[in-house]
């Protein structure tokens, strides 16, 4: 059962995401394993024994996409529907004074779609003169958003994203991701999503950043 609506995110959670941009790669042989290293994207995963699932850390870059543009594109839900082919439904609503996002994701046949109910917050941080945009998100339980028949509710979802300039015209990006998709998902699909889904998402987002100025 997800907790009732939390009061949002702490300053420390935002700072922790900023610090990840400066972390060296996780140690070889340590708990974080390197899963993918291609096209400038490195993906690490950590096995969580309690759930039998993985947490992911992603380090990459988006050429020619300045950090503020990346953050704007990432936060723009209506635009996301145009460029993310896996979005079935996506909107923001206010419940009890809190803004909450509902997101239904298309899954390949014969699997059921998954949906998420979560809060998120974007902040522009100043870290010793560096500008870093941080987005935090986590699932919440909202009685006004009941589960739908045929769609599996993801009750445990956490994400953090930190974006700063790469010193040129693009961005350096760090992302942490965990979700428990529930149901029986074959391990090949989980691995496929991590290995090709994430780099594809970053490529799509890069394209979306280039088209964003045209659409606004």
Q: pLDDT truncated to tens, each residue of the chain (216 aa)? A: 444 555 689 999 999 999 999 988 888 788 999 998 887 889 999 988 887 889 999 999 999 899 999 999 999 999 999 999 999 999 999 988 889 999 999 988 888 999 999 999 999 999 999 999 999 999 999 999 999 999 999 999 999 999 999 999 999 999 999 988 888 888 778 777 777 788 788 889 999 999 997 665
Q: What is the pTM of this model?
A: 0.91
Distance CA 67, CA 165 (A): 6
Q: What is the pLDDT of residue 8?
A: 80
Match 């970053």 to its residue by tokens: 202
Map the chain to HEC letters. CCCCCCCCCCHHHHHHHHHHCCCCCCCCCCCEEEEEEECCEEEEEEEECCCCEEEEEEEEEECCCCHHHHHHHHHCHHHHHHHCCCEEEEEEEEECCEEEEEEEECCCCCCCEEEEEEEEEEEEEEECCEEEEEEEEEECCCCCCCCCCCEEECCEEEEEEEEEECCCCCEEEEEEEEEECCCCCCHHHHHHHHHHHHHHHHHHHHHHHHHHHHHC
């Amino acid at each position: 059962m997800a907790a009732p609506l939390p009061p949002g995110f702490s300053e420390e959670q935002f700072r922790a995401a900023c610090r990840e941009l400066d972390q060296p790669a996780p140690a070889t042989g340590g708990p974080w394993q390197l899963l993918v290293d291609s096209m400038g994207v490195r993906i690490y995963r950590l096995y969580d024994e309690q759930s039998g699932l993985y947490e992911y850390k992603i380090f990459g870059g988006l050429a020619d996409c300045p950090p503020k543009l990346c953050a704007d594109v990432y936060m723009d839900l209506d635009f996301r529907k145009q460029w993310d082919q896996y979005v079935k439904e996506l909107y923001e609503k206010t419940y009890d004074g809190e803004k909450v996002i509902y997101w239904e994701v298309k899954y390949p046949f014969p699997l059921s779609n998954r949906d998420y109910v979560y809060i998120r917050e974007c902040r522009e941080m100043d870290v010793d003169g560096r500008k870093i945009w941080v987005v935090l998100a986590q699932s919440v339980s909202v009685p006004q958003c009941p589960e739908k028949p045929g769609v599996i509710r993801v009750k445990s979802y956490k994400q953090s994203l930190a974006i700063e300039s790469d010193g040129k015209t693009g961005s350096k990006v760090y992302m942490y991701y965990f979700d428990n998709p529930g149901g029986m998902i074959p391990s090949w699909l989980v691995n496929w999503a991590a290995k090709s889904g994430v780099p594809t998402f970053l490529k799509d987002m890069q394209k979306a950043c280039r088209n964003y100025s045209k659409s606004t």
